[in-house]
């Protein structure tokens, strides 16, 4: 499937789903009188729904709609429960999959994300082909309903690139905080800002650790918005600022995620197709490696000949929500910009999210 075909296929799926939503069940029965539990914002009585924002259905789940941890308060409001102590907004979206280290969603919650990345380097680029396999675990802990501690980079990588000797080892570690500035239930909108710190404790033979260029600050801002017709959008804008301007590259990145909710809630409850677009813009040169490619979302290598260049790629996949506590996602990544100009040829990302 080419890039245009992938995008058109996703839009066709969304259109089909929207067509199903556009034919709602008949609520004309005079004796209709029901109210969902507190986790839902859709209430009806006598066939009259609330306003358009609060009347959106929450997604269903493949196995169970019961949260095994309950909704009771622990120590103080929002501790561990995060945003779900006061709103159900996050349950209407499918979490992003692609660019897992830097694509941080705006939702405040406690979870563990286990992910695997298989990355294929272009053979016609300066890196000379090869592959990368990475395994990692991310942890997020909600301190209140607006504030969360996040640890988003760690794990283990096997690197086999054409111009580098085959190697494996531990990745760098990154930790930070994020805070929800705006949580607008009526307009189904969340805006969050955050800051991460990554330091060079990984192994140098897999392009981690080493010089001070691997120490970087990563301020970011992310949002989520539900649009008319059932389309959900999540986006982020982030900067990667090395402590040493010579040993690392200044990088600006952004990501956009689109999901259209469930396309077949009766046949495949909890199944959410998604499309994502990612971009990196190299703003400066370093002097660590005399190459014309950067480290993409994997490393900040201080490349000497990348300033002014950009890399664009997409992801097409799905997230399947098994329960309020468990979901998994798989996405295939494809290049949008010329693969030979950097190190992105193709990628597969798979994750498992365990939520409190």
pLDDT of residue 187: 95
pLDDT of residue 200: 83
CATH at 336: 2.40.160.40
- Rounded to the nearest integer, the mean pLDDT of the chain is 86
For 234-286, what is each residue's pLDDT tens digit?
999 999 999 988 889 999 999 999 998 888 888 999 999 999 999 999 999 99
Using an 8 Å Cβ cutoff, are 282 and 255 in contact?
Answer: no
pTM of the model: 0.84
Reported as a pLDDT band with limits 50, 70 and 90, residue 188 is very high
154: pLDDT strictly greater than 90: yes
What backbone torsions phi and psi does residue 65 show, to the nearest 5 degrees? -100, 15
What backbone torsions phi and psi does residue 282 show, to the nearest 5 degrees? -85, 120
| Residues 96/97/103/108 CA torsion (nearest 10 deg) | 50
Reported as a pLDDT band with limits 50, 70 and 90, residue 343 is very high
> How many domains does the chain contain in total?
1
Kindly provide the residue ranges of all beta strands, DSSP E only, lying in the chain, ordered along the sequence.
33-35, 43-45, 48-49, 111-120, 130-142, 147-153, 156-161, 167-170, 173-184, 189-199, 216-226, 232-242, 251-259, 271-282, 310-323, 326-335, 346-355
> Looking at residues 294-311, what average pLDDT do you find?
94
For 24-61, what is each residue's pLDDT tens digit?
444 333 333 333 333 333 333 233 333 444 444 567 89
Q: CA-CA distance, 231 to 225, in Å (whole number)?
A: 9
The three-class DSSP label of residue 326 is: strand
10: pLDDT strictly greater than 80: no
pLDDT of residue 83: 94
Lowest mean pLDDT among 25-39, 126-140, 192-206: 25-39
Q: Which domain holds residue 45?
A: 3-355
> Looking at residues 81-104, what average pLDDT do you find?
94
- Residue 198: which residues within 8 A CB-CB, separation 6 or more? 153, 172, 173, 174, 214, 215, 216, 218
- Name the nearest CA neighbour of 63 among 276, 318, 323, 299: 323
* DSSP sequence for 6-63: HHHHHHHHHHHHHHHHTSPPP---TT-EEE--TT---EEETTEE--TTTTPPPP--SS
Per-residue tokens: 219: 């301020």
Using an 8 Å Cβ cutoff, are 206 and 159 in contact?
Answer: yes
């Amino acid at each position: 499937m080419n890039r245009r075909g992938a995008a058109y296929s996703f839009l066709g799926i969304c259109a089909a789903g929207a067509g199903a939503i556009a034919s709602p069940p008949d609520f004309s029965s005079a004796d209709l009188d029901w109210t969902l539990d507190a986790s839902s914002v859709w209430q009806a009585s006598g066939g009259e729904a609330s306003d358009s924002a609060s009347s959106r259905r929450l997604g269903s789940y493949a196995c169970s709609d019961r949260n095994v941890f309950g909704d009771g308060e622990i120590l103080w409001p929002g501790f561990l429960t995060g945003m779900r102590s006061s709103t159900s907004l996050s349950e209407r979206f499918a979490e992003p999959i692609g660019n897992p280290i830097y694509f941080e969603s705006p939702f405040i919650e406690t979870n563990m994300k286990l992910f695997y990345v298989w990355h294929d380097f272009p053979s016609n680029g300066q890196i000379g082909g090869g592959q990368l396999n990475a395994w990692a675990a991310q942890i997020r802990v909600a301190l209140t309903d607006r504030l969360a501690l996040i640890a988003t980079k760690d794990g283990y990588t096997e690197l086999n690139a054409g111009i580098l000797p085959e190697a494996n080892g531990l990745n760098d570690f990154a930790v930070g905080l994020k805070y929800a500035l705006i949580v607008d239930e009526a307009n189904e909108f969340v805006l969050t800002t955050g800051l991460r710190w990554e330091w060079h404790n990984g192994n140098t033979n897999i392009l981690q650790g080493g010089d001070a260029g691997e120490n970087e600050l990563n301020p970011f801002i992310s949002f989520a918005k539900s649009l008319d017709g059932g389309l959900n959008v999540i986006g982020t804008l982030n900067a990667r600022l090395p402590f040493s301007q010579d040993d690392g590259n200044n990088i600006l990145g952004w990501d956009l995620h689109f999901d259209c909710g469930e396309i077949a809630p009766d046949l495949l409850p909890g199944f959410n197709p998604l499309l994502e677009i990612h971009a990196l813009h190299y703003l400066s040169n370093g002097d660590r490696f005399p190459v014309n490619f950067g480290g993409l979302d994997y490393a900040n290598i201080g490349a000497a000949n990348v300033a002014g260049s950009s890399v664009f790629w997409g992801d097409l996949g799905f997230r399947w929500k098994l329960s309020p506590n468990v979901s998994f996602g798989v996405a295939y990544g494809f290049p949008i910009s010329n693969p030979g100009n950097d190190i992105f040829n193709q990628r597969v990302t798979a994750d498992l999210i365990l939520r409190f």
